[in-house]
């Protein structure tokens, strides 16, 4: 692909004498060309290519169309839908015995499993794809699979093996004169050097990659390289340069709809503003911020990161990856026909029933009045379930609830370990049932110990003591609740082990400090808390160990008279440096 938009395919499509088969090819080419520039336009063209290929019953064209549409889904973070399309491409390629298409389809399917952390399945697909490319002497495909295998080794932190495969892919692309391949694997080599702490080499390879992608006009990879370079500068302590690259990456990622890059940029910017010791601008070329403004900016970008992460999580769990239904389209058509028949019958019934409406008017009015009264009671009950009772009453009375600052609150974070890998082994219904079992038990534990549940974020659970009514026992309350969760998890694990069923293990972190609490939103109300205390509690969780309760010094000072604790020393936490941490052993 060149730097400028590929006009050749567009010109061919405008010719009146073009046959339908060639039209499919050029629609597919345009869709592929646009996928890294304008995802929405790429999807439109890809669907046109798919529909025409299906009309012609041309299976190869249909398979290629599914691959480019799956790639668009992948860019938008919808991995289950991408996998559905890739599986269809694999199925079509196998039926027509087309090894070239099958090799491509197997490779992109491996990408999804690699993204999900199922490296065994990813390697299986990559090596199957590599075997076919070697049989076809398809050097471009061989280079691609070498690089993808390198990526799995990188994720497994086997960096020497990752570099071997990446350099193998790079050398083959150099022999082929494939600029796009050179750019891709140079970028990935740079990312490995970044992980190993060789920041000068990392910056050199990423800058070379960025220049090549800019020449090619590949916006998706440009955004990725901008993020990598920004994070490398941050690691080198060059915060001003880092913020410039990260803001460029954020702007471009948002423009092309690449949510994974948006998520990464938000997280990096939050960390940057949190740990920078020099004033940074609020945007590219913007005004310099004060220390307090940078702290608020860090908090804002952390919230943005969580919002995008939640959106991606929601997309990934819409349907279970391992249970793909290929007859969904026919089911949808049948459902629409059934709905149409029901609607027609409904209309006939309405015409008949209207003759008797007047006779029942007074009865309906009386019943409606009672129904409104019941619905009001139900609405009040639902509001009390969503919000703390005190906040709900204030909202009903005033129509709004003011945000309040609390000087001392204890915040609890929990997170299930290896959640993504274990959840892939469950059906969607089983996964929801299991999570509900855990969180329902946690809800009851919070209620028993006077702790306020704040929210769940994916597989994480967040609660706080000392709000919305301040008290002096918040630290002990939260610690007792955490230990009750620990006891529940052990009992639940033993029960599931005995039954031969899957179970999750958990980390827990607690920190005490100042927060601001209040309602966000105007339609779907949500009670939430903000402040560095929330970030610290999250760091306590992420730096804890399975089955243990990890607490900070501020919490330790409030509960040490009641509980024995083991001092862990200063633990390095992301964006915080060394933090004193303790494991709770039990009551004194």
| Three-class secondary structure assignment of 548-580 | CEEEEHHHHHHHCCCEEEEEEEEEEECCCEEEE
pLDDT over threshold 80, residue 443: yes
DSSP state, 198?
-
Q: What is the pLDDT of residue 359?
A: 42
H-assigned helices in 326-404: 328-353, 361-386, 389-398
Nearest to 132, CA basis, from 161, 150, 110, 117 = 110
Instruction: Quickly tell me which residue has 């299991």 as its tokens.
Output: 434
**Bridge partner residues of 464 (DSSP):** 411, 452
DSSP 286-325: -PBPPHHHHHHHHHHHHHHHHHHHHHHHHHHTSS-TT---
In sequence order, what E strands does 417-548 have? 452-457, 460-465, 506-520, 526-530
Tell me: pLDDT of 560 over 90.
yes
Averaged over 414-442, what is the pLDDT?
Answer: 83
**pLDDT at residue 324, as a whole number:** 39
Q: What is the pLDDT of residue 164?
A: 93
**Do both 172 and 126 map to the same domain?**
yes
For the cut 80, the answer to whether the pLDDT of residue 317 exceeds it is: no
Q: How far is CA 33 from CA 4, 29, 374, 492, in A?
A: 10, 6, 58, 51
Give per-residue pLDDT as tens, 209-220: 999 999 888 888
Of the ranges 5-19, 37-51, 213-227, the best mean pLDDT one: 213-227
Structure tokens at 59: 């299976």
Longest CA–CA separation in the chain, Å = 88
Structural domain includes residue 300: yes
Q: Specify the pLDDT at position 385.
A: 54
CB 427 within 8 A of CB 323: yes
Domain match, 506 and 455 both: yes
Tell me which of 241, 270, 297 is where a domain ends: 241
Give the HSE-up count for residue 461: Cα atoms under 13 Å, Cβ half-sphere: 22
Residue 451's domain comprises: 404-587
pLDDT confidence band for 525 (50 / 70 / 90)? low
Do residues 132 and 235 both lie within one domain? yes
* 92-141 pLDDT per residue, tens: 989 999 888 898 899 889 988 888 888 899 999 999 999 999 999 989 88
In a domain, 418, yes or no: yes
pLDDT for the residue numbered 33: 62
Residue 46 shares a structural domain with residue 163: yes
- Any idea what the Cα angle at residue 379 is, between residues 374 and 381, rounded to 5°? 95
pLDDT at 537 over 80: yes
pLDDT exceeds cutoff 80 at 420: no
Q: Is residue 399 part of a domain?
A: no
pLDDT of residue 56: 86
Is pLDDT larger for residue 142 or for residue 318? Answer: 142
| Residue 78 banded pLDDT, cuts 50, 70, 90 | confident
* Residue 393 forms part of a structural domain: no
User: Do 21 and 169 share a structural domain?
Assistant: yes
pLDDT mean across residues, the chain: 79
Residue 382: pLDDT band (50, 70, 90) is very low
Q: Which of 177-191, 247-261, 416-430, 442-456 has the lowest mean pLDDT?
A: 416-430
- At 158, is the pLDDT very low, low, confident or very high (cuts 50, 70, 90)? very high
Assess whether pLDDT exceeds 60 at residue 474: yes
Range 429-455 average pLDDT = 89
Residue 544: pLDDT above 80?
Answer: yes
Q: In this structure, what CATH number is given to the domain that contains residue 211? A: 1.25.40.10
Domain assignment present for 295: yes
Residues 84 and 213 in one domain: yes
pLDDT, mean of residues 479-491: 95
Q: What pLDDT shows up at residue 393?
A: 64
Distance of alpha carbon 333 from alpha carbon 281, whole angstroms:
54
% residues pLDDT > 90 (the chain): 33
136 and 267 share a domain? Answer: no
Tell me, yes or no, whether 45 and 132 share the same domain.
yes
- pTM to 2 decimals? 0.45
* pLDDT in the model for residue 387: 64
pLDDT at 334 over 70: no
Q: Please report whether residue 394 resides in a domain.
A: no
Whether pLDDT at 9 is above 50? no
Residues 501 and 410 in one domain: yes
Residue 529 lies in a domain: yes
What's the CA gap between 205 and 187, in Å, rounded? 6
Query: Which position has the token pair 């799995």?
Result: 152
pLDDT at position 124, please?
A: 92
535 three-class SS: helix
Q: Within this chain, do residues 581 and 564 fall inside the same structural domain, yes or no?
A: yes
pLDDT digits (tens, 9 = 90+) for 251-265: 888 888 888 888 888
Q: How many domains does the chain have?
A: 4
Q: How confident is the model at residue 396 (pLDDT cuts 50, 70, 90)?
A: low
Terminal-to-terminal C-alpha distance of the chain: 69
Q: Which residue has the higher pLDDT, 556 or 118?
A: 556
Q: 468: which DSSP letter? A: S
Q: Is residue 387 part of a domain?
A: no
Domain with residue 413: its CATH number is: 3.30.70.1230
- Under the banding of pLDDT at 50, 70 and 90, the label for residue 336 is very low
Element (H, E) at 407: strand 404-416
Render pLDDT for 268-291 as a digit per residue (tens, 0 to 9).
888 888 888 888 887 877 788 888
Shared domain check, 568 and 431: yes
Q: Identify whether residues 17 and 95 lie together within a single domain.
A: yes
């Amino acid at each position: 692909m060149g730097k400028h938009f590929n006009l050749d395919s567009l010109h061919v499509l405008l010719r009146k004498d073009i046959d339908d088969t060639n039209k499919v090819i050029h629609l597919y080419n345009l869709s592929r060309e646009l996928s890294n520039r304008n995802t929405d336009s790429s999807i439109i063209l890809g669907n046109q290519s798919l529909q025409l290929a299906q009309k012609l019953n041309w299976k190869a064209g249909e398979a290629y169309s599914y691959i480019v549409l799956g790639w668009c889904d992948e860019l938008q973070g919808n991995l289950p839908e991408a996998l559905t399309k890739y599986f269809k491409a694999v199925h079509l390629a196998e039926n027509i015995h087309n090894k070239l298409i099958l090799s491509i389809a197997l490779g992109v399917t491996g990408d999804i499993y690699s993204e999900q952390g199922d490296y065994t399945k990813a390697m299986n697909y990559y090596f199957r794809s590599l075997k076919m490319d070697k049989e076809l002497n398809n050097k471009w495909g061989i280079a691609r699979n070498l690089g993808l295998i390198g990526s799995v080794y990188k994720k497994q932190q086997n960096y020497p093996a990752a570099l071997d495969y990446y350099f193998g892919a790079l050398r083959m692309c150099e022999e082929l004169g494939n600029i796009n391949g050179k750019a891709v694997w140079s970028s990935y080599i740079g990312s490995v050097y970044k992980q190993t702490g060789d920041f000068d080499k990392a910056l050199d390879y990423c800058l070379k990659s960025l220049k090549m992608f800019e020449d090619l006009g590949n916006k998706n990879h440009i955004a990725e390289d901008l993020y990598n370079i920004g994070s490398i500068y941050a690691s080198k302590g060059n915060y001003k340069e880092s913020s410039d690259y990260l803001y460029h990456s954020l702007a471009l990622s948002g423009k092309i709809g690449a949510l994974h890059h948006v998520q990464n940029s938000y997280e990096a910017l939050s960390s940057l503003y949190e740990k920078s010791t020099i004033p940074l601008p609020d945007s590219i070329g913007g005004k310099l911020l004060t220390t307090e403004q940078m702290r608020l900016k860090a908090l804002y970008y952390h919230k943005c990161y969580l919002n995008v992460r939640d959106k991606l999580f929601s997309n990934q769990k819409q349907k279970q990856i391992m249970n793909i239904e290929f007859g969904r389209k026919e089911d949808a058509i049948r459902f629409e026909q059934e709905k149409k028949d029901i609607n027609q019958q409904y209309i006939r019934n309405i015409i008949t029933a209207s003759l008797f409406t007047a006779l029942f008017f007074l009865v309906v009015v009386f019943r409606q009045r009672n129904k409104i009264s019941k619905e009001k009671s139900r609405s009040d009950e639902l509001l009390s379930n969503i919000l703390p009772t005190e906040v709900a009453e204030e909202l009903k009375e005033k129509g709004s609830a003011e945000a309040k600052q609390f000087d001392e609150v204890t915040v609890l974070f929990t997170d299930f370990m290896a959640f993504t890998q274990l959840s892939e082994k469950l059906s969607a219904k089983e996964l929801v049932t299991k999570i509900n079992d855990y969180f329902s038990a946690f809800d009851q534990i919070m209620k028993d110990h006077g702790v306020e549940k704040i929210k769940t974020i994916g597989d994480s659970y967040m609660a706080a003591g000392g709000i919305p009514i301040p008290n002096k026992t918040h630290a002990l309350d939260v610690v007792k609740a955490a230990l009750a969760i620990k006891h529940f998890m052990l009992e639940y694990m033993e029960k599931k082990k005995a039954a031969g069923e899957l179970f999750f293990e958990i980390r827990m972190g607690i920190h005490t400090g100042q927060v601001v609490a209040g309602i966000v939103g105007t339609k779907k109300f949500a009670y939430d808390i903000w402040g560095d205390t929330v970030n610290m509690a999250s760091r306590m969780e992420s730096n804890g160990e399975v089955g243990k309760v990890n607490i900070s010094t501020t919490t330790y000072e409030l509960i040490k008279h009641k509980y024995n604790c083991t001092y862990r020393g200063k633990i390095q936490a992301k964006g915080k440096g060394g933090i004193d941490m303790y494991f709770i052993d039990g009551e004194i």
